[in-house]
């Protein structure tokens, strides 16, 4: 690692009712990949927003390349060479790759935009990063992984000296993560400073040089990655021990009734002749590689996507589910992997979100019974231990883990007996994950039945009573938890593509 390129010292930032940053320190060197970790709400994003000019700090100093600086907006930060690659990509699908990379900075030939030059310069950037992408391709035609590579190329085109990666691997396949790491290692060789925000502990050990941990808006400490353990980092993040032992036996009684039966479900190439059963009080894990068809199966079952054929039985009775309304009427709730698009309305309050699926119960003529609505929201805030100042808080102001609790509350208010959890802990820190796991186990013990789709092998092994494995739209196996290993799951997850 080279000389210090960035020092943030004693950074303080408050919002109404929230002390977001409490005199935080952070340091970055040239040629370093420095992880920034902490639970949701720890202040990581706020610190980076202060650095890149989105927020103005209340006090403290930022020293960049030896000079005290304060950026007033992201354009100022980019001009100085500090660029952020967001988790939610900021590309425009209808434009070409080259047009996206140089949007707002287009090359001109007279009064006309010089598309050829943008294509040439984009190609140079991709060659420099050893990326094979056609600059003329339409952005919407690329995979999420390729789109992210374009974001990185765009960052490099700003003559970046510091690149901030915010949860870069959340939606990537294993192969795309390998490609991402290859690029990051190459950028490190070019002496760039890289800030890497992630909740994936295994990635941190693979790709980073140092780890800075924040908790409750405060700086906890900095560790050299090669000299610390995963447990050291977790303990600093949450201030308590988190256990991640796999489940050794099913918690479901042998005589537990079948509450959901799916037979020969078909929905395009992604769902081909899928059959399975779910028992009362069971957590049924769905495992497989990205694109295996797990989410598509859930969406077809829930009526969110059209199915071509197949039979669905709820408590032994054959039912027709052609829409989410049909599914909800039969006691099925769906927690989407994309909670911000499909799970919550972030600009609405906790109260309003909690009753979204049951609003008719709180109608008095043309009006909503606000008192009853707030009372039920407060009940589930208490039961789920949601961290919030109150039920009137906007969901956008909650951490990812607490937003997920609001989605769960919505379906508990509806009293759904069958819950589909699609990637329930994506983008959630290790402490909040543990809370979600406890909550799922509690729901199962109370007789709720859960389908859990997860790309994290440790999560599948920790939570499932039984595991369904899919590959390329087909169910390729079913494993009791007593016989489940990572190797056994991967064997079935790659069965059709070896």
The C-alpha torsion from 163 through 164 and 170 to 173, rounded to 10°, is: 10
How far is the C-alpha of 102 from the C-alpha of 115, rounded, in Å? 10
The pTM score is 0.61
Q: What are the angstrom distances between the C-alpha of 286 and each of 113, 218, 274, 388, 420?
A: 49, 38, 12, 32, 10
Residue 146 is assigned to a structural domain of this protein? yes
Residue 251 is assigned to a structural domain of this protein? no
Q: Are residues 342 and 234 in the same domain?
A: no
Pick from 174, 204, 238: which residue ends a domain? Answer: 238
Q: Are residues 228 and 273 in the same domain?
A: no
Find how far residue 207's CA is from the centre of its chain: 19
Instruction: Give the pLDDT confidence score for residue 424 in this predicted structure.
Output: 85
Pick from 191, 207, 238: which residue ends a domain? Answer: 238
Contacts of 391 (CB under 8 A, 6+ apart): 349, 350, 351, 354, 374, 377, 378, 381
Burial 274-285 (b: 16+ CB within 10 A, else e): bebbbbbbbbbb
Q: Are residues 373 and 228 in the same domain?
A: no
Q: Are residues 184 and 329 in the same domain?
A: no
Tokens 């789920």 -> residue: 384
- What is the 3 state secondary structure string of the chain? CCCEEEEEEEEEEEECCEEEEEEEEEEEECCCEEEEECCCCCCHHHHHHHHCCCCCCCEEEEEECCEEECCCCHHHHHHHCEEEECCCCCCCCCCEHHHHHCCCCCCEECCEECHHHHHHHHHHHHHHHCCCCCCCCEHHHCCHHHHHHHHHHHHHHCCCCEEEEECCCCCCCHHHHHHHHHHHHHHHHCCCEEEEECCCHHHHHHHCCEEEEEECCEEEEEEEHHHCCHHHHHHHHHCCCCCCCCCCCCCCCCCCCEEEEEEEEEECECCCCEEEEEECCCEEEEECCCCCCHHHHHHHHHCCCCCCEEEEEECCEEECCCCHHHHHHCCEEEECCCHHHHHCCCCCEHHHHHCHHHHHHHEECCEECHHHHHHHHHHHHHHCCCCCCCCCCEHHHCCHHHHHHHHHHHHHHCCCCEEEEECCCCCCCHHHHHHHHHHHHHHHHCCCEEEEECCCHHHHHHHCCEEEEEECCEEEEEEEHHHCCHHHHHHHHCCCCC
Instruction: Give the pLDDT confidence score for residue 243 in this predicted structure.
Output: 57
Q: Are residues 227 and 263 in the same domain?
A: no
Q: What are the angstrom distances between the C-alpha of 150 and each of 19, 80, 96, 98, 131?
A: 36, 20, 11, 9, 9
Q: Are residues 357 and 439 in the same domain?
A: yes
How far is the C-alpha of 278 from the C-alpha of 56, rounded, in Å? 51
Residue 252 is assigned to a structural domain of this protein? no
Residue 276 is assigned to a structural domain of this protein? yes
Task: Name the phi and psi angles at 68, rounded to 5.
Answer: -75, 125
Q: Are residues 200 and 299 in the same domain?
A: no
Residue 74 is assigned to a structural domain of this protein? yes
Residue 247 is assigned to a structural domain of this protein? no
Q: Are residues 99 and 228 in the same domain?
A: yes
How far is the C-alpha of 351 from the C-alpha of 378, rounded, in Å? 8
Find the domain containing 214 and state its range: 4-238
Contacts of 58 (CB under 8 A, 6+ apart): 12, 13, 14
* Per-residue pLDDT reduced to its tens digit, 215-231: 888 999 999 999 998 88
Contacts of 266 (CB under 8 A, 6+ apart): 272, 273, 274, 307, 308, 309, 310
Q: Are residues 232 and 262 in the same domain?
A: no
What is the number of structural domains in the chain?
A: 2
What's the full length of the chain, in residues? 498
Q: Are residues 335 and 404 in the same domain?
A: yes
Tokens 């070896």 -> residue: 498
Residue spans of the chain under pLDDT 50: 497-498
- 189 CB burial (10 A radius; 0-12, 13-18, 19+): exposed
Reported for 201-205, long-range contacts at CB under 8 A and 24+ positions apart, including other chains, are 201/230, 201/233, 201/234, 201/430, 202/230, 203/169, 203/177, 204/35, 204/37, 204/233, 205/230
Residue 362 is assigned to a structural domain of this protein? yes
Question: Per DSSP, what are the bridge partners of residue 319?
Answer: 312
Residue 487 is assigned to a structural domain of this protein? yes
How far is the C-alpha of 176 from the C-alpha of 148, rounded, in Å? 10
Q: Are residues 77 and 154 in the same domain?
A: yes
Q: Are residues 95 and 217 in the same domain?
A: yes
Q: Are 475 and 466 in contact (CB under 8 A)?
A: no
Look up the CATH number of the domain holding residue 484.
3.40.50.300
């Amino acid at each position: 690692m080279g000389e210090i390129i960035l020092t943030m010292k004693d950074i303080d930032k408050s919002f109404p009712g929230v002390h977001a940053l409490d005199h935080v320190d952070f340091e970055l060197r040239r040629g370093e990949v420095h992880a920034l970790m902490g639970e949701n709400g720890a202040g990581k994003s706020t610190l980076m927003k202060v650095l890149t000019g989105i927020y103005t700090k209340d006090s403290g100093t930022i020293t960049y390349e030896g000079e005290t600086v304060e950026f007033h907006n992201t354009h100022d930060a980019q001009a100085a060479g500090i660029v952020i690659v967001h988790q939610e990509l900021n590309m425009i699908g209808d434009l070409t790759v080259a047009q996206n990379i140089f949007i707002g900075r287009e090359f001109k030939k007279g009064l006309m935009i010089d598309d050829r030059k943008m294509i040439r310069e984009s190609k140079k950037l991709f060659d420099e990063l050893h990326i094979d992408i056609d600059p003329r391709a339409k952005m919407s035609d690329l995979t999420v992984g390729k789109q992210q590579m374009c974001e990185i190329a765009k960052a490099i085109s700003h003559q970046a000296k510091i690149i901030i990666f915010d949860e870069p691997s959340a939606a990537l396949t294993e192969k795309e993560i390998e490609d991402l790491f290859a690029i990051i290692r190459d950028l490190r060789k070019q002496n760039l400073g890289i800030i890497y925000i992630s909740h994936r502990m295994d990635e941190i050990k693979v790709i980073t040089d140092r780890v800075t941990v924040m908790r409750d808006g405060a700086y906890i400490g900095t560790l050299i990655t090669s000299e610390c353990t995963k447990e050291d980092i977790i303990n600093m993040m949450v201030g308590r021990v988190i256990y991640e032992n796999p489940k050794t036996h099913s918690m479901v009684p042998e005589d537990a009734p079948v509450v959901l039966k799916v037979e020969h479900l078909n929905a395009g190439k992604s769902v081909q002749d899928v059959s399975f059963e779910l028992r009362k009080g069971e957590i049924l894990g769905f495992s497989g590689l990205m694109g295996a068809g797990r989410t598509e199966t859930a969406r077809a079952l829930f009526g969110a996507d059209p199915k071509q054929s197949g039979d669905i039985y709820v408590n032994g009775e054959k039912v027709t589910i052609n829409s989410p309304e049909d599914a909800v009427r039969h006691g099925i709730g769906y927690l989407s992997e994309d909670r911000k698009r499909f799970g919550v309305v972030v600009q609405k309050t906790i109260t309003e979100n909690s009753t979204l699926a049951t609003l008719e119960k709180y109608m008095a003529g043309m009006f909503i019974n606000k008192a009853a609505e707030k009372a039920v929201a407060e009940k589930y805030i208490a039961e789920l231990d949601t961290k919030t100042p109150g039920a009137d808080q906007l969901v956008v102001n909650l951490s990812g883990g607490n937003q997920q609790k609001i989605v769960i509350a919505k379906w508990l208010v509806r009293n759904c007996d069958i819950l589909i959890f699609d990637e329930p802990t994506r983008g959630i820190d290790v402490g909040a994950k543990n809370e979600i796991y406890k909550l799922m186990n509690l729901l199962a013990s109370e007789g709720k039945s859960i389908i859990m789709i997860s790309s994290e092998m440790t999560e599948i092994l920790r939570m499932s009573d039984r595991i369904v494995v899919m590959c390329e739209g087909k169910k390729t196996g079913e494993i009791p938890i007593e016989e489940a290993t990572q190797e056994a799951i991967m064997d079935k997850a790659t069965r059709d593509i070896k």
